[in-house]
Amino acid sequence: MPKKERKRLQVVISEEQDALLTKTAYELSSPERLISKSEVVRLAIEKIAKELGDGEQFDEYRALLDADDLRDD
């Protein structure tokens, strides 16, 4: 998928979320290809959008968004 020139979003995340991103990027990486945390975020966005487009997991995502640890406050 070609990348579009866009202003990058600056999202504040917790240390725990950053650790999860790092761990996921490491697990997805291989000796042939290093996966960045940005690629993990893009993959997650595409996966969530697809699932929501298919009418799946609305309640699960709403519950996650309502959780205190994901709020923007």
Examine residue 60 and state whether it is found in any structural domain, yes or no: yes
Residues of the chain with pLDDT under 50: none
Residue type, 48: I
Examine residue 66 and state whether it is found in any structural domain, yes or no: yes
Examine residue 69 and state whether it is found in any structural domain, yes or no: yes
Examine residue 28 and state whether it is found in any structural domain, yes or no: no
pLDDT given for residue 67 in this prediction: 81
Examine residue 15 and state whether it is found in any structural domain, yes or no: no
Examine residue 7 and state whether it is found in any structural domain, yes or no: no
The number of domains in the chain is: 1
pLDDT given for residue 62 in this prediction: 81
Examine residue 8 and state whether it is found in any structural domain, yes or no: no
pLDDT given for residue 53 in this prediction: 78
pLDDT given for residue 19 in this prediction: 95
Residue range of the domain that includes 43: 36-73
Between the alpha carbon of residue 68 and those of residues 45, 57, 63, 71, the distances in Å are 20, 19, 10, 6
